[in-house]
A and B are shown apart, each in its own frame.
Chain A
Amino acid sequence: MALLQIAEPGQSAAPHQHKLAVGIDLGTTHSLVASVRSTVAEVLPDESGRGLLPSVVHYAASGEIDVGWEARSKAAQDPRNTIVSVKRFMGRGINDIKDIRNLPYQFIDTPGMVKLNTVAGQLSPVEVSAEILKKLRSRAEQSLGGDLAGAVITVPAYFDDAQRQATKDAARLAGLSVLRLLNEPTAAAIAYGLDNASERIYCVYDLGGGTFDFSILRLTRGVFEVLATSGDSALGGDDFDYAIYHWVIDTLKLKALTAEDTRQLLTEARHAKERLTDMVATEICCKLSQGVDIQLILGREVFIELTKDLLNKTFSPVRRALRDAGLQVEDVQGVVLVGGATRMPYLQRSVADFFFREPLTNLDPDKVVAIGAAIQANALVGNRSDSDLLLLDVIPLSLGVETMGGLSEKIIPRNSTIPSAMAQDFTTFKDGQTAMSFHVVQGERELVSECRSLAQFELRGIPPMVAGAARIRVTFQVDADGLLSVTAREQTSGIEANIVVKPSYGLSDTEIAGMLTSGIANAEYDKRMRALREAQVEARRLLDATEIAMMEDGHELLSKSEWDAIWSSIYDLAETLLMGDANSLEALRSATDGLNAVTTEFASRRMDATIQKALSGQQIENIAI
């Protein structure tokens, strides 16, 4: 029992203490943070009571960084150093960014991901996103009153590997421990508490400012599966504002407007759209430069006429997703609306007409994703011991390798449930060939040139054989966050060569470490302290988990000598942990590795026992039925 006291030296969280966890909706235009407080998930507001944080970061020459409302107010006067909608650049190369000429930024074409040249130097989109996350993190820590144990961050369901990796890197940079990247539609479904006992099919219709996403989910006894996703990345609520804007210009036959006038009229158009949610007609009033006075009445009917093509465009992806999932409209038992634009009454009516049922609208469509993420974070961190909530997500795009002729051989097809590990065998092309190069791509097209390139790597040391005799097994492993690692292994000869690649769009650990420490004088020391803290957290976690496991199953699953060996390693690690100074990093790591090694077999036996229990439970229940 003394061992338990050693393993929990004050700082370490007691197993049943409530841990602080948050859900973060890192959006294109706005971001939010939410948390479960006394069983209710709620969005955490800033000091002024505002829940939404504009996803805008301003860099000043003085070195000062503003995030949110303050930053947004600087967009007009200092566009180059005010980064708006950075989410669109995450994990993207310079050729991926649409309308790059119309954006006020100086892009730098760096390998993997673009950078932005600002007064604060060259910045990666990951660093910019990290500023938004830092702001939300400190908001959360202030209002919850403590350090965060972990965060769930939402990403669009269609985000590819590079974009997910970039998001996770940004979170790390912001000092957040990422429990899981969660697809936005899945978060919305969780917010509505759709983890019902009976089997149901739900759709999530998400019309954001600049994008439309549609997803179909199946929920069965607490299991969420994403059956299909689709969308239109160039269609959003802003297009409805543009429709009003163009109508004003056409009606009044206005000449080319200045940038300032355009902005003003667009803002007024957005307000008019919002007013039409509650009113049948509204007045558009604004004063432009050069004394042009605008005063027009816009009726709801005219607005509908102007925008019904836009709205109809959303139903193409809806139909495509239904077909992908092999479903009819009648199979859908609920439709969740997400995004501010879904407040439009005629949109809600159109959705109701399409699905023959009223959509769910009782939660705030701007907050629903963050709330769902908070609920999931609370479960993942272990606050809900009764938790029967399980998410099964899919990868949005197929993963493959390049084969002869520049074609993509799909190894994991899109919409495969994750995590997933799939393998494909390849062979040599020439006699005596000793090396093979692999090009990993993501996308649906046949031609590699039309897919996204994720990584290139070589496998060397293949024993010389005649062409076609070697067998190289390439295994793709996608984890629960949707992130990929690839392994290639030559198998015929018994000689093995392994290689694991990280997508080239992700930042290397060295780059992350560099960003973490940049600007700090004692960078080397700081890096070491951070590494030590991370090692301490992992060591404590391992001690807690091992001790609980020993109490629960140790006597049943271990022999006397195995039991003794594990306790002895627990002692070693607990002792090393108590030393606590920076010099013990290596010792801490080696003691952690030691305990990990000695408990590997125990951990697999425990999982095996869990499987056996789950299977026998099923048989009993089948008999009961």
Chain B
Amino acid sequence: MSSLIGTNYFEMFGLAPKFTIDLTSLDYSYRRLQTEMHPDRYAAGTEMEKRLALQLSSNLNDGYRALKHPSSRAQYLINLAGKKEAGNAVSSAFLMAQMEWREAIEEARASKNMQALDALSRRLRHTISAQEKLLAVVLDEQSDFDLAAQRVNEFRFYEKLQIEIDTALDALEN
């Protein structure tokens, strides 16, 4: 059975196990495999085929989800390297930045300032893309999985901020 799925998600999609991957290639493999394996292909098939298709198609979806997003892809690589989660470890510089972000968002939200929130959202997007580049260096060049685990924590925080800003914008618009 393991040969069906590959030993890991990267193998399943025919990719090298790196943080920097060709997303177009991932998309392409995923769609191609899903077209062959999806339960819809076996809707008129036997129970056995249906079960296998359900299992394989689920694996494809879960693997695709894990590799598509930078934070889950990084976490997956860290897990593959045999590292446990890093708890809540972050750098002190990050702690400072974290407080500043929270204050700025809170202020914009309290004063119902949509433009300020929009500006924060744009700035945050830049930060996230810079963090992604940092992760690539730590994982692909330095292979420092402990540091990577810390960076993933920080990355997740920025992703959560993005959701907070979106929710605040949502609330103001309605």
Contacts and interface: CB of A to CB of B under 8 A. Distances in A.
B35 A541 contact: no
B28 A618 contact: yes
Given A381-B43, A416-B65, A542-B46, A615 B33 contact: yes
A422 B62 contact: yes
Interface string A374-412: 000001111000001011100000000000000000000
Interface in A399-455: 416-422
B35 A419 contact: no
B63 to A, nearest CB: 11
Contacts of A622: 25, 28
Interface stretch (B47-55, B130-138, B142-150): B47-55
Nearest to A380: B43
Using C-beta atoms within 8 Å of the partner chain, give the interface range for chain B. 35 or more
A390 B48 contact: no
Interface in B7-34: 14, 25, 27-29, 31-34
B33 A614 contact: yes
B36 interface: yes
B174 interface: yes
The residue among A416, A417, A610 with the most chain B CB atoms within 10 A of its own CB is A417
A538 B47 contact: yes
A222 interface: yes
Interface stretch (A128-136, A278-286, A513-521, A596-604): A596-604
Nearest to A610: B36
A545 interface: yes
A4 interface: no
B129 interface: no
A319 interface: yes
Contacts of B1: 604
Contacts, number: 124
B79 interface: no
A610 B56 CA distance: 12
A422 B65 CA distance: 11
B35 A417 contact: no
A596 B47 contact: yes
Interface string A300-340: 00000000000000001001100100000000000000000
Contacts of B39: 419, 479-480
A382 B49 CA distance: 15
Contact of A541 (B45, B169, B170): B45
B44 interface: yes
A419 B57 contact: yes
Interface in A142-197: 149-150, 179-180
Contacts of B32: 614-615, 617-618
Contacts of A545: 45-46, 49
13 contacts: A323-B166, A380-B44, A388-B35, A420-B61, A421-B55, A421-B58, A422-B62, A480-B54, A538-B47, A596-B48, A604-B1, A614-B36, A615-B33
List 5 tightest A-B contacts by C-beta distance, closest first. A380-B43, A421-B58, A480-B39, A419-B58, A542-B46
